[in-house]
Every structure is written in structure tokens, then in C-alpha cells.
Amino acid sequence: MRSIENHDDFFGGVSEQTRRIHNIPWGQITKSKQEGGLGFHTMRETNAAFLTKLGLRLMVEKDKLWSQVLRAKYCNGRCDVDMFQSKTDASNAWRGILENMQFLKKGMRTKIGNGAPSEQRKQDAFVRWHAPREDWIKLNIDGASKGNPGPSGGGGIFRDHYGNWIKAFACNFGWCTSVKAEVLALLKGLRVAWDMGYKKLETNLDSQITARKTQQPCKLNQPL
């Protein structure tokens, strides 16, 4: 309510003496606050988010009874991202899941096993963004090198605990290895965070080598 009360001027003509009702187009209200709206989500967006999460739970909670029933009816018991197929007699819920599978597939990556007999050679893995603690900032960084060594670059993005975008950066690191690109991207992100005054910072990166190096004592002129 406090957030809405601060937007009295948005609705127009509201004061302590007058309490008039003003019709505002829904398209204006659903705009972000930066664009002059209230940041409301449309029902279509909300419904798409719920159906996408339902499709995710269908695979993650594969041992649950409801998941087994749906997969037995529509997927012949399969449990992978390619199991979602259109059916002529499908329910509204299933058709809704199929319509929003594009969002689910964007968050998936293929994980390759080590070839051991007890491990699958290939399996689908979901990549999720986890929010930092309240009042903390999360920095996600990545670096890459074409050829390793080769032309390289990196970048990062800052978000708050609500997931709101704050700032992003991208850099060209010239000719170097992929590990060095990861380290340089991390260093750049920490410098940007320091310049912006962020002292409560969580950092995520996908390089185990880089993560281990940050936890080890620094050696002078150590090659990357």
C-alpha cells in the first residue's frame, strides 16, 4: 500500500481535498516504474510463468504421483525435455505447458558424463539463478577464449535480491587463455562493484579452476 500511495500523481488529480477516480489504461500500469507505470504483470505473463514452472516440476518431481500420471498419459512415461509432444485430446493445462516450453528450454544445458557405466552419457541439467541474501548484490560473470589461447572476452551482470537488473559490462581481453579470461572478467566485476560502493557482494562463475584460484594464496607472476 505504501508503494501505491507514493504514486498518487500517477492516477492524476488526487489530493487531500479531492478523491476522484481516474481510468488509466492497463497497458500504462503494466509498464515498469522507470517508464512511468507500476510494474504490474499482465495475466498472460503470470499464467505463462506458472505453466513454465509446472513443466519444470513435471521433470524435477518425476517420482510424484501427479507427474507420473501426466507423463504416462502424454509422454509414454518418458522424463526429458523432448517428451513434450502435442496430443489431439490434450487438456488445457498440457496445451499451456507446450506453449511455454520455449522458456523452459532456454534455461537448459546438456551435461556430459564421464563415460562410466553407472553414469548416463548425456543428461539435461537446469541452470537456475539463485537470489542473494537480502540487501546483497549478486554478480554473475563469464569469460571465454576462442582457441584457448585465442581471441577472448568476458562480461558480467549485477542484480539485487529481487532479481532486478542493475548494471552489466563486457570487455575484450585480447589474446589469452579461457582461464585468464575468467579471472580478468572476475577482476573487472570486482572493480566495478567497488566503484559503485557495493560491499555486500556474492559472485557466481562457471569455472572451477578460477574459483579455486581465488581461494588459494596469490603467487607473484603465476601464469594463467
Residue-range domains of the chain with CATH: 2-35 (no CATH), 43-126 (no CATH), 137-214 (3.30.420.10)
Residue 42, SS3? coil
Q: How far apart are CA 143 and CA 10, in angstroms?
A: 43
Please return the burial class of 182, using the count of CB atoms within 10 Å of its CB with bins 0-12, 13-18 and 19+: buried
Residue pLDDT, tens place only, 100-129:
888 877 776 655 555 454 444 445 556 678
What is the reported pLDDT for 22? 64
What the block records as the C-alpha cell of 162 is: 529481487
Global confidence as pTM: 0.50
> Are residues 146 and 165 in contact, defined by beta-carbon separation less than 8 angstroms?
no
Handedness of CA 116, 109, 166, 194 (dihedral sign): positive
- Residue percentage of the chain with pLDDT more than 90: 27
- State the DSSP H helix or E strand holding residue 173, giving kind and residue range, or none if neither: strand 165-176
What the block records as the C-alpha cell of 6 is: 507514493
> Are residues 47 and 36 in contact, defined by beta-carbon separation less than 8 angstroms?
no
Contacts of 80 (CB under 8 A, 6+ apart): 59, 124
pLDDT confidence tier of residue 209, bands split at 50, 70 and 90: confident
What the block records as the C-alpha cell of 132 is: 542473494
